[in-house]
Homo-oligomer: A and B are copies of this chain.
Amino acid sequence: MTEPEFLAGYDPAAYDRPALAVDLVLMGIRAGRLAALLLRRSQQQQAGLWALPGGFVGIAETLDAAAERVLHDKAGIGRARLEQLYTFGAVDRDPRMRIVSVAYLALLPEAAFAEALAGGAALTAAMLVVPWAGEAGGPVSAETEDGAPLALAFDHVDILALAVKRLRGKLDYTDVGFALLPEHFTLRQLQDVHAAIRGAPLNKSAFRRRMRDRGWIALTGAREAGTAFRPAELFRFDRSGQF
């Protein structure tokens, strides 16, 4: 993109370019575990395998805009917290042609995740199986809710693995945990989400103390309804405590 090419009268349009796509990792909590939405491929290439929703980037379209378009059109989801994850550029990652893909992470509250799942017939929820193995986590695999393994297309298992890793890394010092919860939530729910992302249990009192001291959550005044026993306080995420 600099001098020598232009000095030589270089015209990049004359060269073969990789195709550019975005792929979305739509994550949510399901049955207390970390899950991602997958689409069943019906085309000849890798038909029957499960893949992340994706699409090509338009010539006059931002990467973020492409990701949002795929979110709407392919996954049928209105709004989600979108964040760029990583760009995958192995030469043979797609057998059809050279496709470089910018992976995005989208976080859905439990209800929105379930709703998306009900909307698309070709959609499924992949429960992510991630051995703990320290902060980084080991290799990821995907399975159905019943425990049957899901075969993933292309390099999408690597993309899922990185998504989990990123989520874990950002858990402690950003608001990613709240993005997976409804607007009002209990401390127990918040802890369950953190535990699901970490893949390891948390100390209860230490977790509550830390969350309350941090100033990121505020009491709503309301309490949980319909519980069999003592109802928990409902909190909301308080963005003003972020800084």
Interface residues of A (CB under 8 A from B): 1-3, 5-7, 12-13, 15-21, 23, 39, 41-43, 51, 53-57, 59-64, 74, 84, 86-87, 89-91, 94, 97-102, 134-135, 173, 243
Complex CA gap A19/B57 in Å reads: 11
- In the complex where A100-B63, A173-B135 touch, is A57 in contact with B89 (Cβ < 8 A)? yes
Residue from B15, B41, B87, B99 within 8 A of A102 (CB atoms): B87
Residue from B7, B15, B53, B173 within 8 A of A59 (CB atoms): B15
Residue from B18, B19, B74, B87 within 8 A of A84 (CB atoms): B87
CB pair A1–B54 under 8 Å, yes or no, is: yes
Contact partners of A3 in chain B: CB under 8 A: 39, 41-43
Given contacts A17-B18, A84-B86, A87-B102, 8 further A-B contacts (CB under 8 A): A1-B55, A1-B101, A2-B55, A12-B56, A12-B97, A17-B20, A63-B87, A89-B102
CB pair B43–A21 under 8 Å, yes or no, is: no
* A137 CB to nearest chain B CB (Å): 13
CB pair A6–B43 under 8 Å, yes or no, is: yes
Complex CA gap A16/B57 in Å reads: 10
Contact partners of A64 in chain B: CB under 8 A: 89
Contact partners of A55 in chain B: CB under 8 A: 1-2, 5
Contact partners of A20 in chain B: CB under 8 A: 17-18, 20, 100
Complex CA gap A124/B17 in Å reads: 31
- In the complex where A15-B59, A59-B16, A87-B102 touch, is A74 in contact with B2 (Cβ < 8 A)? yes
- In the complex where A3-B41, A43-B3, A54-B2 touch, is A98 in contact with B18 (Cβ < 8 A)? no
Residue from B12, B16, B18, B51 within 8 A of A2 (CB atoms): B51
Complex CA gap A183/B243 in Å reads: 38
- 30 examples of A-B residue contacts, CB within 8 angstroms: A1-B21, A1-B54, A1-B55, A1-B101, A2-B53, A2-B55, A3-B39, A3-B41, A3-B42, A5-B56, A13-B19, A17-B17, A17-B18, A17-B59, A18-B20, A18-B59, A20-B100, A57-B100, A61-B91, A62-B89, A62-B90, A63-B89, A63-B100, A84-B86, A84-B87, A87-B87, A87-B102, A89-B102, A134-B243, A135-B173
